[in-house]
């Protein structure tokens, strides 16, 4: 138990350093952006009609003339106190905006993550177990095409087929157009998230399937599988292959969190889905530094948390890792 606590403590320290580096990088990139927040959000025409005093107030509100180091240190000091600031675009606390948008994206991200893992593992096992035959060739070709397909292009294709051409699914948004948010049923919300979730899961499943296929082939060519076949054992795929594939499958599954979170930015834009990805785009284009840094830190923590969970699950899956950690 003690080694797990020490391991978790070391990981948490690394996580803190990672979040610090990620937030600083995002701040520097945002500060170097050529976009002028005043012209972007107010417009050149409106600025031309304002008095110098009004322009000076707006510059102070957006922090245009404040030194970058002072702005970052002020933000970091507030974050350490638990205050992520106020969104300049939405004029609401950053955590409140992130919480609302994350609640919209959570179902989308979780469903896409589970679907991509299950679909990728199943396709990889099927292809690896039938290496060189037509199922393997079909699955491998399908996954290679998906791996080279941009997520936004696949989203547009699904949108044109299932929403425009067939009309069986909504064209976008998270709720029906014109409906009040408190009157929308769970079934309607799920129906509106089908296409975005399928887009994210299919693109993520391709890489998992290809990696799983290679691992299955390596396991089937090992000496202990040859020995098991010589003994006449049955259910080799379930008893031996699946157990040895579980460890890399966990790694791939939790590593895909970053890909799904990153892909959701483009997918939510295509489907006009009011989630965390769309808020990140609005904050980046609108110069909303507090909101963008908050979203960056939260999503980076989600990705690192997935990696930490995978590391902790290794010991439960493979006893050798658990015994080695206990001796260390």
Query: Which domain CATH number covers 133?
Result: 1.10.3720.10
Cα–Cα distance list, 172 to 104, 159, 188, 195, 322 (Å): 13, 8, 12, 9, 47
Give me the number of domains the chain comprises: 1
Residue 21 lies in a domain: no
- The predicted-structure confidence for 161-178, as pLDDT tens digits, reads as follows 888 888 888 877 666 676
Residue 6 lies in a domain: no
**Range of weakest confidence among 216-230, 256-270, 313-327:** 313-327
Q: Alpha-carbon distance 290 to 283, whole Å?
A: 9
Residue 70 lies in a domain: no
Residue 5 lies in a domain: no
Q: What is the mean pLDDT of residues 226-249?
A: 77
Cα–Cα distance list, 91 to 85, 88, 99, 272, 286 (Å): 10, 5, 15, 21, 13
User: Residue 183 sits in which domain range?
Assistant: 97-327
pTM above 0.85, yes or no: no
- The predicted-structure confidence for 123-145, as pLDDT tens digits, reads as follows 998 998 888 889 899 999 999 99
Residue 225 lies in a domain: yes
Q: Alpha-carbon distance 143 to 203, whole Å?
A: 9
Q: Alpha-carbon distance 56 to 317, whole Å?
A: 60
Sign of CA pseudo-dihedral 241, 243, 248, 250: positive
Burial of 61 (0-12, 13-18, 19+ CB in 10 A): exposed
């Amino acid at each position: 138990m003690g080694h797990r606590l020490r391991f978790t403590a070391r990981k948490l320290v690394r996580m803190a350093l990672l979040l610090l580096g990620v937030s600083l990088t995002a701040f520097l990139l945002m500060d170097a952006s050529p976009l002028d927040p005043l012209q972007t959000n107010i417009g050149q025409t409106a600025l031309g009609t304002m008095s110098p005093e009004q322009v000076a107030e707006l510059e102070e509100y957006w922090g245009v003339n404040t030194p970058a180091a002072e702005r970052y240190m002020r933000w970091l000091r507030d974050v350490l106190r638990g205050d992520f600031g106020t969104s300049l675009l939405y004029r609401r606390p950053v955590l409140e905006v992130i919480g609302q948008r994350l609640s919209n994206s959570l179902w989308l991200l979780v469903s896409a993550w589970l679907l991509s893992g299950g679909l990728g593992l199943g396709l990889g096992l099927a292809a690896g177990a039938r290496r060189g035959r037509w199922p393997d060739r079909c699955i491998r070709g399908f996954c290679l095409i998906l791996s080279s397909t941009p997520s936004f292009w696949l989203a547009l294709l699904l949108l044109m087929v299932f929403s425009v051409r067939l009309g069986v699914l909504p064209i976008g948004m998270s709720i029906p157009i014109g409906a009040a948010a408190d009157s929308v049923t769970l079934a309607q919300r799920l129906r509106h998230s089908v296409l975005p979730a399928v887009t994210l899961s299919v693109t993520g499943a391709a890489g998992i399937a290809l990696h799983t296929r290679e691992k299955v082939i390596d396991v089937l060519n090992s000496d202990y599988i040859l020995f098991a076949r010589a003994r006449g054992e049955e259910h080799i795929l379930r008893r031996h292959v699946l157990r040895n594939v579980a460890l890399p499958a966990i790694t791939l599954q939790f590593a895909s969190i970053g890909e799904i979170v990153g892909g959701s930015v483009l997918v939510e834009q295509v489907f006009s889905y009011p989630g965390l990805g769309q808020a990140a785009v609005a904050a980046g284009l609108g110069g909303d530094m507090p909101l963008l840094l908050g979203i960056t830190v939260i999503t980076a923590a989600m990705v690192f948390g997935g990696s930490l969970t995978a590391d902790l699950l290794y010991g439960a899956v493979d006893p050798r890792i658990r015994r080695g950690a206990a001796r260390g």
